[in-house]
Amino acid sequence: MTDRLTIPRPDDMHLHLRDGAMLAGVLPETARHFGRAIIMPNLVPPVVTMAGAQAYRARIMAALPKDADFTPLMTLYLTEGTDAADVAAAHAAGVIHAVKLYPAGATTNSHGGVRDVTRVLPVLEKMAEIGLPLCIHNEVTDPEVDIFDREAVFIDTVLDPLRRRLPSLRVVMEHITTSQGVDYARTGGDNLAATITTHHLIINRNHILSGGIKPHYYCLPVAKRESHRLALRQAATSGEARFFLGTDSAPHIDALKEHSCGCAGCFTATNTMPLLAHVFEELDALDRLAGFTSRFGAAFYRLPVSEKTLILSKSDTATIWPEKLDTGAGPVTIFNPGFPVFWQVTP
């Protein structure tokens, strides 16, 4: 049995850092283990221009602990008013590494997103031309579509037609949650990839709803039935380069999670790597963890694999994390997998 694992320093290819006091509180949790992260742009107001991305990056760097070695990979929030020339200039200058498409109203701070994909085609055509990836929140927002079906419907009605129209567009299906998402990701060749979160490998919808509502397991896309979780686990541990880690770690203060209309998001930055070691060990796939966390995402985003390393070790005593992270914005509950974990990151 392996009890020590050395991998290239991992990348988180989908991360929420928020801003202000929350940014200062949560950033050290990611920077402790991850060398790079794709930073989500859904602030209030969102990051919609090159100048906005530069300013947000400067705030992140100012909040970074002095001894940290961490690179934020910035993105722009796609709107129906986005200027294709500004996007191209931001990419050429190395300011951004992707553009994020939120269907309007799909998740946190997404109301300024895209209502009709045809209205952003000039931007997407330019992105296809220059090789800039499009990260997509894969859900329709039609209230007549069941929340557990919104990913599958999005793939059929929005994503597949878009990719047929622009086959050279490089697309990341963010935080897939269904077997349909897994299957579709496998149809796309080198221009299609998918991120998988830590929490969707661990929880299904029963964890949210059985025995009382668990607000800290509520996320969007919402966790699905067990068959979908098992499909995600198979994909993540398959060794296929199209699947890589994007935690979607999404901090909200407890007062906004434990609320009559609670916010969506699981905060996993603190303990993702030990949790993934646990999952991959369960599936006899520890030798594939480095691909999922450190190699495949870097390859898709055309980045070098980190020359630095991260060491994971297993002990006979369960690893204990704090229940909450205290931030200047308020307490944030750290994701609890609901079972003992014996892996830890070794300093």
127: its two tokens: 């992105």
Q: What's the pTM?
A: 0.97
pLDDT for res 98: 98
Other beta carbons within 10 Å of 113: 23
Q: Count the domains in the chain.
A: 1
175: left (phi over 0), alpha (psi -120 to 50) or beta: left
**Percent of the chain scoring above 90 in pLDDT:** 96
Is the pLDDT at 1 greater than 70? The verdict is no
Mean pLDDT of 140-152: 95
Known catalytic residues?
248
Mean pLDDT of 239-266: 97
**Percent of the chain scoring above 70 in pLDDT:** 99
pLDDT for res 113: 85
Please, which pLDDT band fits residue 54 given cuts at 50, 70 and 90? very high
Could you give the CA distance from residue 297 to residue 311 in angstroms, rounded to a whole number? Answer: 19
269-293 per-position pLDDT tens digit? 999 999 999 999 999 999 999 999 9
**N- to C-terminal Cα distance for the chain?**
22
Please, which pLDDT band fits residue 109 given cuts at 50, 70 and 90? low
Q: Which domain holds residue 271?
A: 4-346
Is the pLDDT at 110 greater than 80? The verdict is no
CATH of the domain at 295: 3.20.20.140
Is the pLDDT at 106 greater than 80? The verdict is no
